[in-house]
């Protein structure tokens, strides 16, 4: 019983991490039809900068942890906004080229990180509580998972509030529904594009700092691995659907953890099989509409 | 009519040039040509031949990828899976089944075909960007399988070629030129397949689907079947290239099935010019030489003495390649081949304009020439 609870809870925690990455991807794709390969690079950048900040402060204290998360989110948003302005904006409506540019950026960024921080993983320290476990129904769940769940829940709630109750949120939702109509009404969607990129980047930056605490180290390839799972999650959830991404994140991660525990570490393969299954039955994903 | 006649007029020249180039490449191991700064040794020595063979491997792989992206407009991020299937397939067949080389090659190709069919059918359920994501996921699964099952694939260490079944003339440094010729043969085969695909009804249908899928459906044709067939042909060709790679390197590492390799091939095709067969070859050769030169440059004294702001980016070959790639996508949309091609057309049209004062003739000529270009360049 306690194993079951442990696997389930760690699955949900991992799903929370996936959601931090996938939410931005899904929003960006939904509004702009851009597949952002550089999302992993934003995440890694947030992780590195967050680590640099935390180690200059007292990395075992809570406030250093809080500052590193804040900084991670800010630099993630900054880099993403810069990317949108410099690389994506000149190529509007040319979707394949936009993908290619983000691929090139991801390629160059990983090489640059390796040049600056080396190619070996750097182990990080955290507040003492993060390294401990909490007992739930007999299962000792590492505390990092709670932080991940908290962060993902906070992100989901703030995104829903933002999309539902603000003017920009309304524009973004309308843009996902029908971009041509929004443009025809005289609304400048470019600001919304920039905003979506910045939001996605900041979620990725925060996700990067937390992913570093989850794995225990930062490395130049931290983002690339997570990005592939985030892709799978967004396709299973339905591209452009935020609730879809949330549900699929948890489903995929829990499935992965169960397969890893009970089926001898086959989690990664099971996830891809699940993706194939979902595509065969429902090509638009769980909550997605028709594919463009 | 006009376009067809123009193509027929140009064809012999291009064909003769191509054959001459292949003959020249075939003669290289027998000649003593040194190109300092590009080739490490004179052309008859193993060093230069190995580098040229690697360049041809990348050129051939880029050609197969161009069938997907150039001809059919499919952005796949899983092409390395089929390359790796060829390389690992041959290695596993020779190691575990103990078969001779040629049955081993056959097994590797059939393996690549089966994997391509299964993954292709599922991935074709979606198109466009989702297709890219799904193919990436499949390639990732393949990569994980290779890394995990180290008993069969050698895991992270890689799999080295069991030379028992391989004929002696294909083994060893002294026989590099035989491997070179074998690689050249693979490149020619892949080129001819790519040419056939582009010229056949299948290729026309795939191109039409790329431009306007709805219209193809309305005409009562089946876009998905055409796309799947092109996908499988490209995948099997990639497996063949993987087989050549396995023989050339006498081993393979997990990088052969990684997303990194697919992205490298994508970079090559875009640098060379999407939709141009010769662009893919030029891109492959340039990439291989550049990659090798940049690695040498990265470790050179000139770079070491620079301040760290310049030294760190310049000592990472992938950073330079990535940046170059972004610049090409943004400022040189046709890649090398596309840019050369449009210059050539403008020049030809200009010359025709000087000969004939009659404007309508120029216009007609331009129309005839520009049509295939427009068709190929847009993707």
A82 in contact with chain B, both atoms CB, cutoff 8 A: no
Shortest distance, CA B148 to any CA of chain A (angstroms): 9
In the predicted model, is pLDDT for residue A15 greater than 90?
yes
Residues A272, B318: C-beta atoms closer than 8 Å: no
Closest residue to A291, CB basis, from B75, B130, B140: B130
Q: What is the DSSP string of B182-232?
A: HHHHHHHHHHHHHHHHHHSHHHHHHHHHHH-HHHHHHTT--HHHHHHHHHH
In the predicted model, is pLDDT for residue A118 greater than 80?
yes
**In the beta sheet, which residues pair with residue A136?**
A139
- The rounded mean pLDDT for chain B is 81
A269 in contact with chain B, both atoms CB, cutoff 8 A: yes
Cα distances from B83 to residues B3, B96, B111, B143, B254, in angstroms, run 36, 20, 11, 12, 11
User: What is the model's pLDDT at position B11?
Assistant: 62
B267 in contact with chain A, both atoms CB, cutoff 8 A: yes
End-to-end CA distance of chain A: 44
Residue carrying structure tokens 């391989």: B166
User: What is the model's pLDDT at position B362?
Assistant: 42
User: What is the model's pLDDT at position B6?
Assistant: 56
End-to-end CA distance of chain B: 24
Shortest distance, CA B177 to any CA of chain A (angstroms): 34
Residues A87, B267: C-beta atoms closer than 8 Å: no
Shortest distance, CA B145 to any CA of chain A (angstroms): 8
- CA nearest to B320 within chain A: A108
Chain B residues with CB inside 8 Å of A248's CB?
Answer: none
B326 in contact with chain A, both atoms CB, cutoff 8 A: yes
Cα separation of A87 and A85, whole Å? Answer: 6
pLDDT class of B373 with cuts at 50, 70, 90: very low
Taking residues A96-111, report their average pLDDT. Answer: 88
pLDDT class of A78 with cuts at 50, 70, 90: very high
In the predicted model, is pLDDT for residue A260 greater than 90?
no
In the predicted model, is pLDDT for residue A292 greater than 50?
no
Cα separation of B201 and A46, whole Å? Answer: 50
For residue range B40-68, list pLDDT tens digits in order: 777 777 778 888 899 999 999 999 999 99
In the predicted model, is pLDDT for residue A49 greater than 90?
yes
- The rounded mean pLDDT for chain A is 86
User: What does the block give as tokens for A73?
Assistant: 């989110």
Residues A280, B125: C-beta atoms closer than 8 Å: yes
Q: Using alpha carbons only, how large is chain B's radius of gyration in Å?
A: 22
Cα separation of B112 and B369, whole Å? Answer: 38
Shortest distance, CA B306 to any CA of chain A (angstroms): 14
Listed in sequence order, the DSSP H helices in chain B are 2-27, 46-66, 80-92, 101-123, 129-148, 150-153, 176-199, 201-211, 213-218, 223-249, 259-272, 277-298, 301-304, 308-314, 317-331, 335-355, 359-377
Which residues contact residue B242 at a Cβ distance below 8 angstroms, ignoring those fewer than 6 apart?
B82, B83, B84, B85, B86, B87, B88, B89, B90, B108, B112, B252, B256
Cα separation of A48 and B141, whole Å? Answer: 28
**Nearest-5° angle of CA B15, CA B19, CA B24?**
145
Residues A280, B312: C-beta atoms closer than 8 Å: no
Cα separation of A42 and A29, whole Å? Answer: 16
User: What is the model's pLDDT at position B367?
Assistant: 41
Q: Parallel, antiparallel, or unpaired: how do β-strands A133-136 and A139-142 relate?
A: antiparallel
Residue with more model confidence, B64 or B364: B64
Q: What is the DSSP string of A137-165?
A: TTEEEEHHHHHHHHHHHHHHHHHHHHHHH
Chain A residues with CB inside 8 Å of B140's CB?
Answer: 228, 268, 272
Cα separation of B48 and A281, whole Å? Answer: 52
Q: How far is CA B251 from the centre of its chain?
A: 20
B318 in contact with chain A, both atoms CB, cutoff 8 A: yes
Burial class of residue B102 in the structure, from the number of CB atoms within 10 Å of its CB (0-12 exposed, 13-18 middle, 19+ buried)? exposed
For residue range A129-170, list pLDDT tens digits in order: 777 777 777 778 888 888 889 999 999 999 889 988 998 888
B132 in contact with chain A, both atoms CB, cutoff 8 A: yes
ipTM above 0.85, yes or no: no
Q: Parallel, antiparallel, or unpaired: how do β-strands B251-252 and A122-123 relate?
A: unpaired
Going by the DSSP 8-state scheme, the letter that residue A131 receives in this structure is G
Residues B316, A91: C-beta atoms closer than 8 Å: no
User: What does the block give as tokens for B196?
Assistant: 């056939």
User: What does the block give as tokens for A196?
Assistant: 């979506």
For residue range A214-235, list pLDDT tens digits in order: 888 888 888 888 888 898 899 8
Residue carrying structure tokens 């979506």: A196
In the predicted model, is pLDDT for residue B369 greater than 90?
no
For residue range B280-323, list pLDDT tens digits in order: 999 999 888 888 877 777 777 777 777 777 777 777 778 888 88
Q: What is the DSSP string of B146-160?
A: HHH-HHHH-GGG-EE
CB A252, CB A18: distance < 8 Å:
yes
Least confident of A201-215, B211-225, B350-364: B350-364
Q: Using alpha carbons only, how large is chain A's radius of gyration in Å?
A: 19
Task: Reduce the DSSP state of residue A211 to 3 states and report it.
Answer: helix
User: What is the model's pLDDT at position B211?
Assistant: 85
In the predicted model, is pLDDT for residue A171 greater than 80?
yes
CB B100, CB B165: distance < 8 Å:
yes
For residue range B70-100, list pLDDT tens digits in order: 888 888 988 999 999 999 999 888 888 878 8
Chain B residues with CB inside 8 Å of A239's CB?
Answer: 129-130
User: What does the block give as tokens for B312?
Assistant: 């760190």
Cα separation of A192 and B294, whole Å? Answer: 40
């Amino acid at each position: 019983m306690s194993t079951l609870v442990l696997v389930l809870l760690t699955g949900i925690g991992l799903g929370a991490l996936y959601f931090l990455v996938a939410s931005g991807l899904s929003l960006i794709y939904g509004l702009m039809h851009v597949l952002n390969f550089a999302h992993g690079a934003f995440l890694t950048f947030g992780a590195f900068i967050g680590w640099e900040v935390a180690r200059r402060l007292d990395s075992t204290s809570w406030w250093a942890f809080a500052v590193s998360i804040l900084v991670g989110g800010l630099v993630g948003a900054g880099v993403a906004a810069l990317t949108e302005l410099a690389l994506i904006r000149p190529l509007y409506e040319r979707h394949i080229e936009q993908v290619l540019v983000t691929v090139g950026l991801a390629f160059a960024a990983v090489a640059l990180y390796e040049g600056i921080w080396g190619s070996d993983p750097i182990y990080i320290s955290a507040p003492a509580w993060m390294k401990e476990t909490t007992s739930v129904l007999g299962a000792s769940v590492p505390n990092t998972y709670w932080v991940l769940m908290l962060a993902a829940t906070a992100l989901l709630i703030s995104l829903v509030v933002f999309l539902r109750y603000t003017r920009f949120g309304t524009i973004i939702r309308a843009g996902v529904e029908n971009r041509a109509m929004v443009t025809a009404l005289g609304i400048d969607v470019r600001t919304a594009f920039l905003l979506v990129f910045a939001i996605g980047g900041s979620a990725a930056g925060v996700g990067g700092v937390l992913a570093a605490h989850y794995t225990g180290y930062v490395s130049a390839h931290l983002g690339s691995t997570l990005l592939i799972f985030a892709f799978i999650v967004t396709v299973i959830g339905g591209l452009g659907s935020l609730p879809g991404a949330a549900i699929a994140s948890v489903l995929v991660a829990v499935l992965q953890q169960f397969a890893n525990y009970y089926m001898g570490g086959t989690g990664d393969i099971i996830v891809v099989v699940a993706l194939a299954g979902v595509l065969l039955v429902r090509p638009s994903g769980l909550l997605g509409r028709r594919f463009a | 009519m006009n376009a067809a006649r123009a193509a027929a007029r140009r064809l012999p020249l291009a064909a003769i040039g191509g054959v001459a180039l292949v003959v020249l490449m075939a003669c290289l191991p027998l000649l003593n040509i040194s190109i300092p700064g590009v080739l490490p040794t004179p052309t008859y020595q193993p060093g230069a031949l190995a580098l040229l063979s690697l360049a041809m491997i990348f050129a051939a792989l880029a050609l197969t990828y161009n069938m997907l992206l150039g001809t059919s407009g499919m952005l796949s991020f899983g092409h390395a899976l089929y390359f790796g299937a060829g390389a690992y397939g041959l290695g596993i067949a020779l190691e575990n089944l103990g078969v001779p080389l040629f049955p081993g090659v056959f097994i590797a190709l059939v393996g690549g075909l089966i994997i391509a069919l299964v993954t292709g059918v599922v991935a074709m359920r979606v198109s466009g960007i989702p297709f890219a994501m799904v193919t990436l996921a499949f390639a990732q699964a393949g990569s994980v399988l290779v890394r995990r099952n180290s008993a069969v694939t050698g895991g992270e260490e890689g799999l080295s070629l069991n030379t028992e079944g391989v004929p002696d003339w294909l083994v060893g440094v002294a026989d590099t030129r035989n491997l070179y010729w074998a690689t050249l043969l693979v490149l020619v085969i892949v080129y001819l397949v790519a040419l056939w695909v582009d010229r056949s009804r299948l290729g026309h249908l795939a191109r039409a689907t790329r431009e306007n899928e709805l219209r193809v459906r309305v005409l009562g044709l089946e876009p998905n079947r055409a796309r799947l067939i092109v996908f499988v042909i490209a995948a099997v060709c990639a497996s063949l290239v993987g087989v050549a790679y396995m023989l050339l390197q006498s081993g393979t590492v997990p990088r052969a099935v990684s997303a990194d390799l697919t992205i490298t091939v994508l970079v090559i095709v875009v640098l060379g010019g999407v939709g141009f067969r010769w662009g893919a070859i030029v891109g492959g050769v340039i990439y291989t030489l550049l990659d090798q030169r940049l690695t040498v440059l990265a470790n050179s004294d000139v770079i070491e003495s620079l301040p760290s702001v310049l030294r760190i980016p310049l000592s990472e070959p992938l950073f330079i390649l990535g940046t170059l790639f972004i610049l090409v996508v943004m400022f040189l949309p046709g890649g090398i081949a596309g840019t050369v091609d449009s210059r050539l057309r403008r020049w030809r049209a200009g010359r025709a304009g000087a000969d004939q004062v009659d404007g309508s003739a120029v216009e007609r000529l331009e129309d005839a020439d520009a049509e295939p270009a427009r068709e190929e360049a847009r993707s």
